[in-house]
Amino acid sequence: MHLICRGSGSPVLFIHGIPTSSLLWNGVIEKMCGVFTCFALDLPGLGKTPSEPYHGDYLARLSDRIDAIRIKRNIAKWHVVGHDGGSAVAAQYAHRFPQNVSRLALLSPALFPDLKPYFPLELLRKPILGECMAPLIHPLFWKVAMRRAGRNEEETHSAPTEFGKPFSGFYGAWRFMEVLRWGKPADVLAHFSNILPHLLTPTLILHGSRDQAIPSSFSRRARNLIPNSELVYVDAGHFIPLNRPGFVARQLIEFFRQSYVAASVSHDKYSTQSCV
């Protein structure tokens, strides 16, 4: 998986959702890399990471690959942050490797099987109909929905445009369709109500007060299920890291600083780079 690494200090891993990329975290990382080593990866099929076939054990296999990154970097423990579907990846990882996660932060968490994607995107999941509708839905989604949702209230970023680059070109609409078909929420997220009560890692949940993609009830349910968790509402839409990068960075810095652990972690100065 494509990985960027910036900053120095205690390590933090950032995981984006669908259909964004590691660029989602640029504004947050800019404000945190002075005190933390910030890692941000591109999930398969998004950003600069090649796509791969999806299977029923996708989240478990992805957790193993993420932990391989931790081992390669000689990190004993790190903080983990997820947004949207990346929150499911982050929670799965924290459940599978609790000894390797210091603190967990979930933004706009897509964690429950009753998740209802936008109706036009749901059409792309349907065989034959999706293939026919993809060339129509694809440009509307990127030109209207993503630009509106990614409107930044603190500073201007080109992230919404960059998110769509893997899906440019003649076959882009169908590549986008394949990413959206990686799994049905009813199947992929069915087990989270069972694993969240076993997450003992201190957890911060952030939810945008104007989020129209993930209902606020998801964050309340997560807070009620995760034993050591707190919920903070943010004056933002769905893309909190784009809308309020400064606020997110301050919340994360304060939350992570509450739990410095005596562990052998690498404090070397990292520069931006691509990693396998």
Give per-residue pLDDT as tens, 213-244.
899 999 999 999 999 999 999 999 999 999 89
Question: What is the band of 151 on the pLDDT scale with cuts at 50, 70, 90?
Answer: low
Indicate if the pLDDT at residue 57 is higher than 50: yes
Q: Is the distance from CB of 104 to CB of 79 less than 8 angstroms? A: yes
Coil, strand, or helix at residue 50? coil
Residues 6+ positions from 49 with CB-CB distance below 8 Å: 1, 2, 41, 42, 43
Question: What is the band of 58 on the pLDDT scale with cuts at 50, 70, 90?
Answer: confident
The more confident residue out of 98 and 259 is 98
The more confident residue out of 257 and 56 is 257
Q: How far apart are CA 167 and CA 45, in angstroms?
A: 9
Q: How far apart are CA 5 and CA 168, in angstroms?
A: 26
Per-residue pLDDT, 148: 60
Find the helix packing angle between 129-140 and 172-180, rounded to 10°: 110
- Most confident of the following: 162-176, 183-197, 214-228: 214-228
Domain ranges of the chain: 3-115+186-257
Residues 6+ positions from 170 with CB-CB distance below 8 Å: none
Q: How far apart are CA 106 and CA 13, in angstroms?
A: 12
The more confident residue out of 187 and 268 is 187
Indicate if the pLDDT at residue 168 is higher than 80: yes
Q: What proportion of the chain, given as a percentage, has pLDDT over 90?
A: 60
Q: What is the mean pLDDT of residues 72-77?
A: 95
Fold of 3-115+186-257: Rossmann fold (3.40.50)
Q: What is the mean pLDDT of residues 62-86?
A: 96
Please report how many Cα atoms fall inside a 13 Å half-sphere around the Cα of residue 84, on the Cβ side. Answer: 21
Per-residue pLDDT, 15: 98
The residue count for the chain: 276
Per-residue pLDDT, 263: 38
Indicate if the pLDDT at residue 245 is higher than 50: yes
Indicate if the pLDDT at residue 273 is higher than 80: no
pLDDT, averaged across the chain: 86
